[in-house]
Chain A
């Protein structure tokens, strides 16, 4: 299908998308600094990080919402500047936002083609080609492993995972080479998350470069070909599959050392006397003397 093979990272083909030393400042605050990352066709690149690690800033740069303050972006090896999300979409970078991608009351086929409806007829008789739209939608959903028996079914009646699948199938059908998924599993249950992960793999099998943003290493590990871990706006490590095991990833994600220090602290607090540290809170936040309550 594609030349990229996960085991040999340095293949001849240029990566679909690459960022070099990218930084973004908002006034005095540096949201991210010195970010390097590559996305290759037929690979899933997982970007992991806790809240505030800079994941969303990075996505917004990749999808053209923000422009980087420093560094450069390369699309197919060519330095490129996106001035709007439309520019990113034009070169085949599609972003699937967590819950803002489908209209619940509209049918599956209407959602699938929203904004890019196929048309037939001329002049005032120009109209949507409903048959064609429904046919393509069923076909594309079938490739994701979903049998849509009733194309008029409202998207709102689908499960959360299936709704993500509609967004993913739509992006792939409209020629996405790079698919950015922003926390696609965070609002889903265990089973549904598994379903979405399967769709990610389906998209990879079809040669799409997938960027999977998550804070859950258990979701990233089974599907990822490359793992980039962010912390406080910096890349703290980048590994290909096989260079890191699940345990290490979990450790890194939870900020290993920090977590250890925390558990230490908790032990001490509970061991010595938990009460004084609690009593500090109401007085610092609320000037009322404790006696009033």
Chain B
């Protein structure tokens, strides 16, 4: 044991850097960025950056909450389809029902939070794995998205959202652009702000301490007086709400929403959280890391396109990145936990 102490004294700075969950993702951002910069001359121009930050932001915003949820030891497979549910709900309320778009947005967010609450309540009450509970939610929402949309609209697309009252202001806030010739998406600003808040809550507030604790060892957390159920249910609600916000942004930008929107996206959120250093078993990870993971995915999707390759390759890339990330994280975890034996 004393040998560990001595070494800690010498390489303290390096050890504490290596202990940060997002280190691997930060290195990967540089590697992937440099790689695609050599493949395409537009990749690192302002136009290029506006392109891949756009792709990254729609993954990164829900991933902020997904990362917190994973650190809290749970999964939400319904987060992807929730973007579709939210866009459709807002769209139908704004067009078929004829509500003001702002009221539609408020109702949609409240509805999403309720679904999140039900997810969390079911998981905590039944003690079933969240993987199963939210998988059920995923399929139920997917069915509802298609069934309800067809029943109300008579097709699989809710259109004409741009004609709803209040649309223009909502569009400029949730789906506008800035920096005129390059047209960066405002979702980038939302992403930065939400990631900063999420990271601050996780690392600096007592709620953040509780999130680490409920994911690391729920029983120990309960023994020290942490309200485990409330923390976990709150995380499910945050995840559903941020997924819904993303869906609202997409619907406002397109002016329409497809009933199949968001299916499969949940895995991208989980992938970027894992790439960013979140452990699948909970208790360890970072919000910044998940955002870096989203940057990697955004760069790869756009970089592959810019380089003129077949975009199907991006899935191979996603899979590879995920595998490497899990291997590296596993190694870090052993290093952090293993010294005791």
Q: Which residues from chain A sit less than 8 Å from chain B, CB to CB?
A: 86, 89, 97, 100-106, 110, 113-117, 119, 126-128, 130, 149-150, 152-154, 156-160
Contacts and interface: CB of A to CB of B under 8 A. Distances in A.
Interface string B297-341: 000000000000000000000000000000000000100110110
Nearest to B16: A152
A154 B335 CA distance: 10
A88 to B, nearest CB: 12
Given A116-B225, A149-B9, A103 B216 contact: yes
A104 B224 contact: no
Contacts of A105: 212, 216, 279, 283-284, 333, 336-337
Nearest to B336: A154
B16 A101 contact: no
B223 interface: yes
Contacts of A159: 1, 340
Contact of B337 (A126, A127, A130, A157): A157
B12 A128 contact: no
9 closest cross-chain pairs (CB), A and B: A103-B216, A115-B225, A115-B224, A117-B206, A156-B337, A157-B339, A105-B283, A103-B217, A127-B204
23 contacts: A103-B217, A103-B283, A104-B337, A105-B284, A106-B213, A114-B221, A114-B224, A115-B210, A115-B226, A116-B224, A116-B225, A117-B209, A119-B206, A128-B204, A149-B8, A149-B12, A150-B12, A153-B8, A154-B336, A156-B336, A157-B336, A157-B337, A157-B339
A106 B283 CA distance: 8
A192 to B, nearest CB: 10
A120 to B, nearest CB: 10
A101 B337 contact: no
Given A110-B209, A157-B340, A103 B16 contact: no
A127 B205 contact: yes
A110 B212 contact: yes
A104 B333 CA distance: 11
Contact of B217 (A89, A100, A149, A153): A100
Contacts of A157: 4, 336-337, 339-340
Interface of B: 1, 4-5, 8-9, 12, 15-16, 19, 200, 204-206, 208-210, 212-213, 216-217, 219-221, 223-226, 279, 283-284, 333, 336-337, 339-340
Contacts of B206: 117, 119, 128
A110 B209 CA distance: 7
Nearest to B4: A157
A100 B220 contact: yes
A153 B335 CA distance: 12
B336 to A, nearest CB: 5
Nearest to B285: A105
B226 A160 contact: no
Contacts of A119: 206
Main secondary structure of the interface of B (DSSP, over half): helix
A130 B220 contact: no
A101 B224 contact: yes
A105 B216 CA distance: 6
A103 B340 contact: no
B325 to A, nearest CB: 17
Contacts of B283: 103-106
Given A101-B223, A105-B284, A130-B204, A114 B337 contact: no
B330 to A, nearest CB: 13
Given A104-B337, A159-B340, A113 B284 contact: no
A92 to B, nearest CB: 15
Contacts of B15: 150
A114 B8 contact: no
A114 B284 CA distance: 16
A127 B213 CA distance: 17
A113 B9 CA distance: 25
Contacts of A101: 220, 223-224
B216 A106 contact: yes
Contacts of B279: 105
Nearest to A86: B225
A92 B150 CA distance: 62
A147 to B, nearest CB: 9
A154 B337 contact: yes
A104 B210 CA distance: 14
B220 A102 contact: yes
B54 to A, nearest CB: 29
Contacts of B200: 127
B321 to A, nearest CB: 23
Contacts of B213: 103, 106, 110, 114-115
Contacts of B212: 103, 105-106, 110
Contacts of A153: 8
Contacts of A115: 210, 213, 221, 224-226
B58 to A, nearest CB: 26
